[in-house]
C-alpha cells in the first residue's frame, strides 16, 4: 500500500474511514497508510471540508471528469456504492478486484 494508488470515496465512506482509523485506531499501520495516501472525497456539498490530511474535495461532475483525465495513479474505492453508480453513469470503466 505504499504510495502507488489513491483513495476515491464518497463522503459517507470517507467519514466512516476517518472515524474508524484516525479516531479509533490512530497508532495502526493501516491508519498511517490511509493518512499518507492521497484521498479524493466526492460530495454534493461544495462547502464540505475534509478533515483528513492529503484530502481533496471533488464537488460535482466536472471535478470527477478532471480527476479521471489528470490523475496518473490507480484509484481505489472502499464502499461508496452511491459514488460507484454515479461514476458508471458518467461512463467510467472499472477494473474489479
> What residue ranges do the domains of the chain occupy?
6-89
Mean pLDDT rounded to a whole number for the chain: 87
Q: What percentage of the chain carries pLDDT values higher than 90?
A: 53
Tell me the torsion sign for CA atoms 38, 42, 47, 49: negative
Q: What is the pLDDT of residue 23?
A: 93
- Ramachandran bin of 49, using left for φ above 0, alpha for ψ from -120 to 50, beta for the remaining angles: beta
Task: For 48-76, write each residue's pLDDT tens digit.
Answer: 999 999 999 999 888 888 988 898 888 88
Q: What is the pLDDT of residue 78?
A: 79
- The residue that leads in pLDDT, 68 or 40, is 40
CATH code for 6-89? 3.40.430.10
Q: Is 41 helix (H, G, I), strand (E, B) or coil?
A: strand
- Ramachandran bin of 32, using left for φ above 0, alpha for ψ from -120 to 50, beta for the remaining angles: alpha
Residues 13/79, Cβ–Cβ less than 8 Å: yes
pLDDT grade for 88, boundaries at 50, 70 and 90: confident
Quick one: cell of 88?
Answer: 458508471
pTM of the predicted model as reported, rounded to 2 decimal places: 0.84
Give the pairing of strands 55-58 and 6-10: unpaired
Amino acid at each position: 500500500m505504499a504510495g502507488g494508488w489513491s483513495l476515491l470515496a464518497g463522503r459517507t465512506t470517507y467519514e466512516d474511514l476517518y472515524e474508524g482509523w484516525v479516531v479509533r485506531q490512530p497508532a495502526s499501520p493501516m491508519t498511517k497508510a490511509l493518512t499518507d495516501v492521497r484521498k479524493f472525497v466526492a460530495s454534493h456539498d461544495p462547502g464540505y471540508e475534509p478533515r483528513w490530511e492529503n484530502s481533496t474535495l471533488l464537488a460535482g461532475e466536472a471535478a470527477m471528469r478532471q480527476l479521471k483525465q489528470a490523475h496518473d495513479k490507480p484509484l481505489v474505492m472502499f464502499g461508496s456504492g452511491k459514488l460507484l453508480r454515479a461514476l458508471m453513469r458518467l461512463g467510467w470503466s472499472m477494473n474489479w478486484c
